[in-house]
Amino acid sequence: MGQKYLMKGNEAIAEAAIRAGCKHFFGYPITPQTEVAAYMAKQMPKIGGTYLQAESEVAAINMVLGAAAAGVRAMTSSSSPGISLKTEGISYIAGSDLPCVIINVMRGSPGLGGIQPSQADYWQATRALGHGDFQVIVFAPSSVQEIVDLLGKAFDLAEKYRMPAMMLADGMLGQMMEPVEFPETEPKMAEKPWAVTGHNNERPHNIINSLYLTPSDLEEIVVNRFKRYDEVKKNEVMYEAYQTDDAEYGVVAYGATARVVKSAVNQARAKGIKVGLLRPITVWPFPEKEVAAFGNQVKKILCVEMSMGQMIDDVKLAVNGSCPVEFYGRTGGVVPSPAEVLKAIEEMAK
């Protein structure tokens, strides 16, 4: 670790990606993530990389597909409505077994919605980031430093498992400045013998494709892909347990919301309520075992989100009826205050 910088989340995303060896960025402006593209536009030419503002989100994600097929580290970034436009391309990338990183700085929705922070794309990110049988590794950082820590990992895991990885942030994380340190380690790029790179006829052609017209062939490919997903589920779950050791009541929250919850947990503890927070850092793979164990430990769980309640489905599946699961959320771009969450915790503990 070296020097500390005071940086916006969006700028940190871009800088961390560059340091992780990303030399190809394709984007299209949308609030509240535009600083990612602005930073890339400034820096990429200096390092011999490519920054390209595409004609649309659809074009940008297909450029990512092309760059990833050629074996380079490629990234795109957008916010909720723009991510919806990219989903077709993301499905093609997953169906072609290509690694890439996609940033979603979530904003209020549906439709054009608003531009303030939201977490209402959880279902989209973890269930259906495009058509078909596939998953994407989804990281949900809760600080600017954590964005930096996870971005290199997102590229590494995307390459290791040959699948897209997503950084699921929100407008608050994107816009806020916090001190960050960047890792001094050099990125380790995976060998990519499958890449379409040009080879002077020295090896058989590589083909990147997602079209298989024989059902049994396609089935085999999808089933094998899901075996890789099983490995991801086994190896890559990340979470943080905060004040959980002696907790009688539990809260599950992720991303920026988890910060609000931490403040509320501290206030509740000061009032004598033994409450702890379990914060998924990867939301796919979801920390199923840890949430299940949490459900066995506490009397009740409160799920707090900036949505009408989406991650709560995963919490309920993991808990599987072992304790009641309640919900508190704000949506449309409204950030819950620590006081509101404290009230919800007090209600739960009544």
Partner 1 sequence: MSLNLLIAGFGGQGVLFMGKVAAYTAMVEDKYVSWLPSYGPEMRGGTANCSVCIDDKEIGCPLISEPETLVVLNRPSYDKYVNAVLPGGHIFIDSTLIDVTCERKDIHVHYVPCTQMAQDSGMKQLANVVMLGNVLKETGFTTFDVLCKAMEQCVPPKKKDLLEPNLKALKLGYEYQG
The residues binding partner 1 (CB under 8 A) are 4, 6, 31-32, 115-116, 171-172, 175-179, 259-260, 262-264, 266, 335, 337-339
Closer residue to partner 1 in complex, CB, 43/266 = 266
d(Cα 37, Cα 29) in Å, to the nearest integer? 7
CB of 277 to partner 1, least distance (A): 11
Tell me if 65 sits within 8 A of 40, measured CB to CB. no
CB of 31 to partner 1, least distance (A): 7
Taking the mean position of all CA atoms in its chain, how far away is CA 186? 23
Closer residue to partner 1 in complex, CB, 95/117 = 117
Q: What is the DSSP string of 156-201?
A: HHHHHHTSEEEEEEEHHHHH-EEEEE---SPP-PPP-TT-----TT
Local structure of 249: helix, strand or coil: strand
Q: If you ran DSSP here, which 8-state letter would residue 303 be given?
A: E
Angle between helices 9-19 and 34-43 (to 10 degrees): 40
CB of 184 to partner 1, least distance (A): 19
Closer residue to partner 1 in complex, CB, 192/262 = 262
CB of 107 to partner 1, least distance (A): 10
Characterize 116-141 residue by residue with b for buried, 16 or more Cβ atoms within 10 angstroms of its Cβ, and e for exposed: bbbbbbbebbbeebbeeebbbbbbbb
d(Cα 155, Cα 326) in Å, to the nearest integer? 35
Closer residue to partner 1 in complex, CB, 171/250 = 171
d(Cα 232, Cα 57) in Å, to the nearest integer? 28
Nearest to 106 by CA among 215, 9, 209: 9
Closer residue to partner 1 in complex, CB, 24/259 = 259
CA atoms within 13 A on the CB side of 136: 37
Closer residue to partner 1 in complex, CB, 7/90 = 7
CB of 32 to partner 1, least distance (A): 6
Taking the mean position of all CA atoms in its chain, how far away is CA 187? 20
CB of 123 to partner 1, least distance (A): 25
Taking the mean position of all CA atoms in its chain, how far away is CA 65? 19
What are the tokens at 100?
């890439």
CB of 182 to partner 1, least distance (A): 15
Closer residue to partner 1 in complex, CB, 100/144 = 144
Q: Where are the alpha helices (DSSP H) in 20-143?
A: 34-43, 57-69, 80-95, 122-127
Closer residue to partner 1 in complex, CB, 129/173 = 173
CB of 338 to partner 1, least distance (A): 5
